[in-house]
Structure 1
Protein backbone atom coordinates (compact mmCIF):
# COMPACT_ATOMS: atom_id res chain seq x y z
CA UNK A 1 0.00 0.00 0.00
CA UNK A 2 1.07 3.56 -0.58
CA UNK A 3 2.22 5.62 2.37
CA UNK A 4 0.24 8.78 1.68
CA UNK A 5 0.42 12.10 -0.08
CA UNK A 6 3.30 13.62 1.90
CA UNK A 7 6.91 13.25 0.79
CA UNK A 8 10.06 13.24 2.91
CA UNK A 9 12.23 16.34 2.79
CA UNK A 10 13.97 19.10 4.69
CA UNK A 11 12.71 22.18 2.85
CA UNK A 12 11.38 25.29 4.64
CA UNK A 13 7.86 24.08 3.91
CA UNK A 14 8.61 20.72 5.51
CA UNK A 15 9.99 22.40 8.61
CA UNK A 16 7.06 24.81 9.02
CA UNK A 17 4.31 23.72 11.39
CA UNK A 18 1.07 22.34 9.98
CA UNK A 19 -0.89 25.09 11.72
CA UNK A 20 1.18 27.85 10.14
CA UNK A 21 0.85 26.29 6.68
CA UNK A 22 -2.91 25.92 7.00
CA UNK A 23 -3.29 29.51 8.21
CA UNK A 24 -1.14 30.83 5.37
CA UNK A 25 -3.06 28.72 2.87
CA UNK A 26 -6.34 30.17 4.13
CA UNK A 27 -5.00 33.73 3.93
CA UNK A 28 -3.63 33.08 0.43
CA UNK A 29 -7.04 31.79 -0.69
CA UNK A 30 -8.76 34.92 0.65
CA UNK A 31 -6.18 37.16 -1.04
CA UNK A 32 -6.53 35.34 -4.36
CA UNK A 33 -10.29 35.87 -4.39
CA UNK A 34 -9.91 39.54 -3.51
CA UNK A 35 -7.57 40.14 -6.46
CA UNK A 36 -9.14 40.49 -9.92
CA UNK A 37 -6.21 41.52 -12.12
CA UNK A 38 -5.17 38.62 -14.42
CA UNK A 39 -1.55 39.83 -14.36
CA UNK A 40 -1.36 39.87 -10.56
CA UNK A 41 -3.00 36.45 -10.44
CA UNK A 42 -0.54 35.17 -13.06
CA UNK A 43 2.32 36.29 -10.80
CA UNK A 44 0.68 34.45 -7.90
CA UNK A 45 0.38 31.32 -10.04
CA UNK A 46 4.10 31.49 -10.92
CA UNK A 47 4.94 31.79 -7.22
CA UNK A 48 2.69 28.79 -6.50
CA UNK A 49 4.49 26.75 -9.16
CA UNK A 50 7.81 27.64 -7.55
CA UNK A 51 6.63 26.67 -4.08
CA UNK A 52 5.24 23.37 -5.35
CA UNK A 53 8.50 22.59 -7.15
CA UNK A 54 10.52 23.53 -4.03
CA UNK A 55 8.99 20.61 -2.11
CA UNK A 56 11.40 18.28 -3.91
CA UNK A 57 8.68 16.23 -5.55
CA UNK A 58 9.62 14.52 -8.82
CA UNK A 59 8.28 16.38 -11.89
CA UNK A 60 6.26 13.42 -13.14
CA UNK A 61 4.68 12.82 -9.74
CA UNK A 62 4.02 16.55 -9.34
CA UNK A 63 2.06 16.65 -12.58
CA UNK A 64 0.22 13.40 -11.86
CA UNK A 65 -1.07 14.69 -8.54
CA UNK A 66 -2.66 17.86 -9.88
CA UNK A 67 -3.43 17.17 -13.53
CA UNK A 68 -7.06 16.15 -13.06
CA UNK A 69 -7.89 19.15 -10.86
CA UNK A 70 -6.04 21.54 -13.16
CA UNK A 71 -7.90 20.10 -16.14
CA UNK A 72 -11.17 20.85 -14.33
CA UNK A 73 -9.92 24.39 -13.65
CA UNK A 74 -9.14 24.75 -17.36
CA UNK A 75 -12.70 23.70 -18.26
CA UNK A 76 -14.10 26.29 -15.85
CA UNK A 77 -11.85 28.93 -17.41
CA UNK A 78 -13.02 28.00 -20.91
CA UNK A 79 -16.64 28.32 -19.78
CA UNK A 80 -15.87 31.78 -18.40
CA UNK A 81 -14.29 32.75 -21.72
CA UNK A 82 -17.38 31.61 -23.63
CA UNK A 83 -19.94 33.27 -21.38
CA UNK A 84 -17.97 36.26 -20.08
CA UNK A 85 -14.60 37.53 -21.31
CA UNK A 86 -10.95 36.63 -21.76
CA UNK A 87 -9.94 38.60 -18.65
CA UNK A 88 -12.46 36.68 -16.55
CA UNK A 89 -11.23 33.38 -17.98
CA UNK A 90 -7.58 34.19 -17.24
CA UNK A 91 -8.44 35.39 -13.74
CA UNK A 92 -10.26 32.13 -12.98
CA UNK A 93 -7.48 30.02 -14.51
CA UNK A 94 -4.66 31.68 -12.58
CA UNK A 95 -6.61 32.07 -9.32
CA UNK A 96 -7.81 28.48 -9.05
CA UNK A 97 -4.58 27.10 -10.51
CA UNK A 98 -2.53 28.93 -7.89
CA UNK A 99 -4.82 27.72 -5.13
CA UNK A 100 -4.59 24.11 -6.30
CA UNK A 101 -0.79 24.24 -6.44
CA UNK A 102 -0.50 25.90 -3.03
CA UNK A 103 -2.77 23.25 -1.50
CA UNK A 104 -0.73 20.53 -3.22
CA UNK A 105 2.47 21.99 -1.77
CA UNK A 106 0.98 21.98 1.74
CA UNK A 107 -0.26 18.42 1.31
CA UNK A 108 3.10 17.22 0.02
CA UNK A 109 4.98 18.65 3.02
CA UNK A 110 2.58 17.83 5.86
CA UNK A 111 2.02 14.39 7.36
CA UNK A 112 -1.45 13.01 7.83
CA UNK A 113 -0.97 12.84 11.60
CA UNK A 114 -0.12 16.56 11.65
CA UNK A 115 -3.32 17.32 9.72
CA UNK A 116 -5.33 15.20 12.15
CA UNK A 117 -3.83 16.90 15.20
CA UNK A 118 -4.65 20.36 13.87
CA UNK A 119 -8.21 19.40 12.94
CA UNK A 120 -8.73 17.95 16.42
CA UNK A 121 -7.49 21.16 18.06
CA UNK A 122 -9.63 23.28 15.75
CA UNK A 123 -12.84 21.35 16.47
CA UNK A 124 -12.30 20.81 20.19
CA UNK A 125 -14.23 24.00 21.16
CA UNK A 126 -17.23 22.74 19.14
CA UNK A 127 -16.96 19.37 20.88
CA UNK A 128 -17.60 21.03 24.24
CA UNK A 129 -21.02 22.12 22.98
CA UNK A 130 -21.83 18.67 21.64
CA UNK A 131 -21.80 19.64 17.94
CA UNK A 132 -19.07 17.24 16.79
CA UNK A 133 -16.60 14.69 18.06
CA UNK A 134 -13.23 16.16 17.13
CA UNK A 135 -11.40 12.83 17.14
CA UNK A 136 -13.96 11.23 14.81
CA UNK A 137 -13.78 14.09 12.31
CA UNK A 138 -9.98 14.16 12.30
CA UNK A 139 -9.90 10.37 11.85
CA UNK A 140 -12.27 10.65 8.87
CA UNK A 141 -10.15 13.36 7.25
CA UNK A 142 -6.99 11.37 7.90
CA UNK A 143 -8.47 8.28 6.27
CA UNK A 144 -9.53 10.27 3.20
CA UNK A 145 -6.05 11.77 2.81
CA UNK A 146 -4.43 8.41 3.45
CA UNK A 147 -6.42 6.48 0.86
CA UNK A 148 -6.59 9.04 -1.97
CA UNK A 149 -3.31 7.77 -3.50
CA UNK A 150 -4.41 4.18 -2.92
CA UNK A 151 -7.65 4.75 -4.83
CA UNK A 152 -5.79 6.50 -7.65
CA UNK A 153 -3.32 3.60 -7.87
CA UNK A 154 -6.18 1.10 -7.94
CA UNK A 155 -7.85 3.08 -10.72
CA UNK A 156 -4.64 2.81 -12.74
CA UNK A 157 -4.41 -0.93 -12.08
CA UNK A 158 -7.98 -1.55 -13.25
CA UNK A 159 -7.42 0.55 -16.36
CA UNK A 160 -4.21 -1.34 -17.21
CA UNK A 161 -6.00 -4.66 -16.63
CA UNK A 162 -8.61 -3.65 -19.20
CA UNK A 163 -5.93 -2.74 -21.71
CA UNK A 164 -4.01 -5.99 -21.09
CA UNK A 165 -7.16 -7.95 -21.96
CA UNK A 166 -7.67 -5.94 -25.13
CA UNK A 167 -10.79 -4.26 -23.76
CA UNK A 168 -11.68 -0.68 -24.49
CA UNK A 169 -11.22 1.47 -21.41
CA UNK A 170 -14.58 3.04 -20.60
CA UNK A 171 -15.31 5.20 -17.55
CA UNK A 172 -18.22 3.02 -16.39
CA UNK A 173 -16.23 -0.18 -16.79
CA UNK A 174 -13.46 1.21 -14.59
CA UNK A 175 -15.55 3.10 -12.03
CA UNK A 176 -17.88 0.20 -11.12
CA UNK A 177 -15.14 -2.20 -9.92
CA UNK A 178 -13.27 0.73 -8.36
CA UNK A 179 -16.32 1.72 -6.31
CA UNK A 180 -16.98 -1.89 -5.25
CA UNK A 181 -13.38 -2.43 -4.13
CA UNK A 182 -13.32 0.93 -2.33
CA UNK A 183 -16.53 0.13 -0.47
CA UNK A 184 -15.11 -3.25 0.57
CA UNK A 185 -12.03 -1.51 1.92
CA UNK A 186 -14.20 1.01 3.75
CA UNK A 187 -16.15 -1.84 5.35
CA UNK A 188 -12.95 -3.54 6.47
CA UNK A 189 -11.56 -0.31 7.91
CA UNK A 190 -14.83 0.42 9.73
CA UNK A 191 -14.76 -3.04 11.34
CA UNK A 192 -11.12 -2.54 12.36
CA UNK A 193 -11.96 0.84 13.93
CA UNK A 194 -14.89 -0.60 15.86
CA UNK A 195 -12.85 -3.64 16.95
CA UNK A 196 -10.26 -1.33 18.49
CA UNK A 197 -12.94 0.88 20.05
CA UNK A 198 -11.37 4.04 18.60
CA UNK A 199 -14.69 5.87 18.57
CA UNK A 200 -15.51 4.94 22.14
CA UNK A 201 -12.31 6.31 23.69
Structure 2
Protein backbone atom coordinates (compact mmCIF):
# COMPACT_ATOMS: atom_id res chain seq x y z
CA UNK A 1 0.00 0.00 0.00
CA UNK A 2 1.05 3.57 -0.60
CA UNK A 3 0.71 6.46 1.81
CA UNK A 4 -0.23 10.11 1.36
CA UNK A 5 2.72 11.00 3.60
CA UNK A 6 5.34 13.27 1.99
CA UNK A 7 8.79 13.22 3.56
CA UNK A 8 10.14 16.63 4.49
CA UNK A 9 11.45 18.87 7.24
CA UNK A 10 8.95 21.74 7.23
CA UNK A 11 7.55 23.33 10.40
CA UNK A 12 4.40 21.27 9.94
CA UNK A 13 6.40 18.03 9.76
CA UNK A 14 8.05 18.91 13.07
CA UNK A 15 4.81 19.56 14.95
CA UNK A 16 3.52 16.77 17.18
CA UNK A 17 0.64 14.81 15.60
CA UNK A 18 -1.63 15.57 18.56
CA UNK A 19 -1.14 19.31 18.05
CA UNK A 20 -1.86 19.00 14.31
CA UNK A 21 -5.02 16.98 14.84
CA UNK A 22 -6.22 19.36 17.55
CA UNK A 23 -5.51 22.38 15.33
CA UNK A 24 -7.38 20.70 12.47
CA UNK A 25 -10.42 20.21 14.71
CA UNK A 26 -10.33 23.88 15.76
CA UNK A 27 -9.88 24.93 12.12
CA UNK A 28 -12.91 22.89 11.06
CA UNK A 29 -15.04 24.31 13.86
CA UNK A 30 -14.03 27.88 12.99
CA UNK A 31 -14.86 27.35 9.31
CA UNK A 32 -18.29 25.84 9.96
CA UNK A 33 -19.41 28.00 12.88
CA UNK A 34 -19.83 31.17 10.81
CA UNK A 35 -22.02 32.01 7.85
CA UNK A 36 -19.84 34.88 6.70
CA UNK A 37 -18.11 33.72 3.49
CA UNK A 38 -15.08 35.90 4.26
CA UNK A 39 -13.98 33.56 7.09
CA UNK A 40 -13.95 30.32 5.05
CA UNK A 41 -12.46 32.31 2.16
CA UNK A 42 -9.51 33.37 4.31
CA UNK A 43 -9.31 29.83 5.70
CA UNK A 44 -9.13 28.46 2.14
CA UNK A 45 -6.21 30.74 1.29
CA UNK A 46 -4.45 29.77 4.52
CA UNK A 47 -5.04 26.06 3.89
CA UNK A 48 -3.82 26.37 0.31
CA UNK A 49 -0.62 28.14 1.38
CA UNK A 50 -0.04 25.49 4.02
CA UNK A 51 -0.59 22.50 1.75
CA UNK A 52 1.11 23.79 -1.39
CA UNK A 53 3.97 25.17 0.69
CA UNK A 54 5.15 21.69 1.62
CA UNK A 55 7.53 21.58 -1.35
CA UNK A 56 5.67 19.08 -3.53
CA UNK A 57 5.46 19.55 -7.30
CA UNK A 58 2.08 21.04 -8.14
CA UNK A 59 0.98 18.01 -10.17
CA UNK A 60 1.91 15.58 -7.39
CA UNK A 61 0.16 17.74 -4.81
CA UNK A 62 -3.05 17.98 -6.85
CA UNK A 63 -3.31 14.34 -7.96
CA UNK A 64 -4.70 12.85 -4.70
CA UNK A 65 -7.05 15.80 -4.21
CA UNK A 66 -8.80 15.84 -7.58
CA UNK A 67 -11.49 13.20 -6.83
CA UNK A 68 -12.23 14.79 -3.45
CA UNK A 69 -12.40 18.32 -4.86
CA UNK A 70 -14.64 17.06 -7.67
CA UNK A 71 -16.99 15.68 -5.03
CA UNK A 72 -16.92 19.03 -3.22
CA UNK A 73 -17.81 20.77 -6.49
CA UNK A 74 -20.76 18.41 -7.00
CA UNK A 75 -22.01 19.11 -3.48
CA UNK A 76 -21.74 22.84 -4.11
CA UNK A 77 -23.57 22.46 -7.42
CA UNK A 78 -26.38 20.57 -5.69
CA UNK A 79 -26.62 23.38 -3.15
CA UNK A 80 -26.83 25.87 -5.99
CA UNK A 81 -29.75 23.96 -7.48
CA UNK A 82 -31.74 23.59 -4.27
CA UNK A 83 -30.60 26.66 -2.30
CA UNK A 84 -29.12 30.08 -3.04
CA UNK A 85 -25.87 30.98 -4.75
CA UNK A 86 -24.58 32.31 -1.42
CA UNK A 87 -25.22 28.96 0.27
CA UNK A 88 -23.46 27.12 -2.57
CA UNK A 89 -20.44 29.44 -2.31
CA UNK A 90 -20.29 28.98 1.46
CA UNK A 91 -20.36 25.19 1.08
CA UNK A 92 -17.65 25.27 -1.58
CA UNK A 93 -15.35 27.46 0.50
CA UNK A 94 -15.87 25.49 3.71
CA UNK A 95 -15.30 22.04 2.25
CA UNK A 96 -12.38 23.10 0.03
CA UNK A 97 -10.61 24.71 2.99
CA UNK A 98 -11.16 21.64 5.14
CA UNK A 99 -9.93 19.28 2.40
CA UNK A 100 -6.71 21.25 1.87
CA UNK A 101 -5.94 21.58 5.57
CA UNK A 102 -6.68 17.90 6.22
CA UNK A 103 -4.43 17.03 3.26
CA UNK A 104 -1.64 19.13 4.78
CA UNK A 105 -1.94 17.28 8.09
CA UNK A 106 -2.05 13.89 6.37
CA UNK A 107 0.91 14.69 4.11
CA UNK A 108 3.10 15.65 7.08
CA UNK A 109 2.16 12.90 9.54
CA UNK A 110 3.30 9.30 9.23
CA UNK A 111 0.81 6.45 9.57
CA UNK A 112 2.45 5.13 12.73
CA UNK A 113 2.25 8.60 14.31
CA UNK A 114 -1.44 8.79 13.45
CA UNK A 115 -2.08 5.37 14.98
CA UNK A 116 -0.18 6.19 18.17
CA UNK A 117 -1.94 9.55 18.60
CA UNK A 118 -5.45 8.16 18.01
CA UNK A 119 -4.76 5.20 20.30
CA UNK A 120 -3.53 7.53 23.06
CA UNK A 121 -6.67 9.67 22.70
CA UNK A 122 -8.86 6.56 22.96
CA UNK A 123 -7.22 5.20 26.14
CA UNK A 124 -9.73 6.88 28.50
CA UNK A 125 -12.47 5.00 26.64
CA UNK A 126 -10.47 1.78 26.97
CA UNK A 127 -10.16 2.29 30.73
CA UNK A 128 -13.94 2.70 30.83
CA UNK A 129 -14.25 -0.68 29.10
CA UNK A 130 -15.91 0.76 25.97
CA UNK A 131 -13.28 0.12 23.27
CA UNK A 132 -9.77 -1.16 22.76
CA UNK A 133 -7.54 1.84 22.03
CA UNK A 134 -5.13 -0.07 19.76
CA UNK A 135 -8.01 -1.25 17.57
CA UNK A 136 -9.23 2.33 17.12
CA UNK A 137 -5.74 3.47 16.13
CA UNK A 138 -5.37 0.54 13.74
CA UNK A 139 -8.73 1.29 12.11
CA UNK A 140 -7.81 4.94 11.52
CA UNK A 141 -4.41 3.97 10.13
CA UNK A 142 -5.97 1.48 7.71
CA UNK A 143 -8.47 4.08 6.47
CA UNK A 144 -5.66 6.55 5.79
CA UNK A 145 -3.63 3.91 3.97
CA UNK A 146 -6.63 2.78 1.91
CA UNK A 147 -7.35 6.26 0.49
CA UNK A 148 -4.42 6.43 -1.98
CA UNK A 149 -4.92 2.75 -2.81
CA UNK A 150 -8.57 3.29 -3.75
CA UNK A 151 -7.67 6.36 -5.82
CA UNK A 152 -5.01 4.38 -7.70
CA UNK A 153 -7.46 1.52 -8.32
CA UNK A 154 -10.09 3.97 -9.55
CA UNK A 155 -7.60 5.40 -12.04
CA UNK A 156 -6.60 1.91 -13.20
CA UNK A 157 -10.24 1.00 -13.87
CA UNK A 158 -10.74 4.23 -15.82
CA UNK A 159 -7.68 3.45 -17.94
CA UNK A 160 -8.94 -0.10 -18.54
CA UNK A 161 -12.25 1.33 -19.77
CA UNK A 162 -10.45 3.73 -22.10
CA UNK A 163 -8.20 0.95 -23.46
CA UNK A 164 -11.30 -1.08 -24.36
CA UNK A 165 -13.06 1.90 -25.91
CA UNK A 166 -15.79 1.87 -23.25
CA UNK A 167 -17.54 4.97 -22.01
CA UNK A 168 -16.52 5.89 -18.48
CA UNK A 169 -19.66 5.94 -16.34
CA UNK A 170 -20.08 5.79 -12.55
CA UNK A 171 -22.31 2.72 -12.96
CA UNK A 172 -19.52 0.79 -14.68
CA UNK A 173 -16.75 2.06 -12.38
CA UNK A 174 -18.28 1.59 -8.94
CA UNK A 175 -18.95 -2.15 -9.24
CA UNK A 176 -15.35 -3.27 -9.92
CA UNK A 177 -13.99 -0.66 -7.51
CA UNK A 178 -16.19 -1.84 -4.62
CA UNK A 179 -15.53 -5.54 -5.31
CA UNK A 180 -11.75 -5.11 -5.46
CA UNK A 181 -11.72 -2.93 -2.35
CA UNK A 182 -13.77 -5.46 -0.37
CA UNK A 183 -11.45 -8.29 -1.47
CA UNK A 184 -8.44 -6.31 -0.26
CA UNK A 185 -10.21 -5.53 3.01
CA UNK A 186 -10.87 -9.24 3.58
CA UNK A 187 -7.24 -10.08 2.85
CA UNK A 188 -5.97 -7.42 5.25
CA UNK A 189 -8.40 -8.51 7.97
CA UNK A 190 -7.23 -12.12 7.59
CA UNK A 191 -3.58 -11.02 7.80
CA UNK A 192 -4.29 -8.96 10.93
CA UNK A 193 -6.03 -11.88 12.64
CA UNK A 194 -3.30 -14.32 11.59
CA UNK A 195 -0.73 -12.13 13.33
CA UNK A 196 -2.83 -11.89 16.47
CA UNK A 197 -2.95 -8.09 16.35
CA UNK A 198 -6.58 -8.00 17.44
CA UNK A 199 -6.17 -10.15 20.53
CA UNK A 200 -9.67 -9.75 21.92
Give the TM-score normalised by structure 1. Answer: 0.91
Q: In structure 2, the residue corresponding to 1:199 is in which secondary structure? A: coil
Q: 1:79 to 1:148 in 2, by over 3 A?
A: closer
Q: CA deviation at 1:150?
A: 1.3
For 1:144-173, what per-residue CA distance to the aligned partner results, in whole angstroms no more than 9, with x for missing partners? 111211121122112212221222323233
Per the alignment, residue 115 of structure 1 pairs with 114
**Residue matched to 1:50:** 49
Considering only aligned residues, what root-mean-square deviation do their CA atoms show, in Å? 1.8
Q: CA deviation at 1:196?
A: 0.9
CA distance in 1, matches of 2:79, 2:166: 37
Whole-Å Cα distance in 2 between the matches of residues 168 and 73 of structure 1? 23
The answer as to 2:124 corresponding to 1:125 is: yes
Distance 1:193 1:170, change over 3 A: same
Deviation at 1:175, TM superposition (A): 2.2
Question: TM-score, normalized by length of structure 2?
Answer: 0.91
Q: Which residue of 1 aligns with 2:6?
A: 7
Q: Distance in 2 between matches of 1:165 and 1:83?
A: 38
Give a deviation string over 1:9-31, Cα, whole Å, max 9, x none. Answer: 11111111100100111111111
What is aligned with 1:32?
31
Gaps of 5+ in 1: none
Do structure 1's residue 139 and structure 2's residue 148 form an aligned pair? no
**Gap regions ≥5 residues in structure 2:** none
How many angstroms apart in 2 are the aligned matches of 1:177 and 1:87? Answer: 38
Aligned twin of 2:95: 96
| Residues 140 and 170 (structure 1), Cα distance of their counterparts in 2 relative to 1, 3 Å cut | same
SS of 1:175's partner is helix
* Residue 197, structure 1, aligned to residue 196, structure 2: yes
Aligned in 2, Cα 1:197/1:71: closer, same or farther, shift over 3 Å? same
Change (3 A) 1:191 1:167: same
CA distance in 1 between counterparts of 2:160 and 2:82 reads 41
Contact 2:31 2:39 in 1 (8 A): no
Q: Count the aligned residue pairs.
A: 200
Deviations 1:162-189 (A, max 9, x none): 2212223232332222222222222221
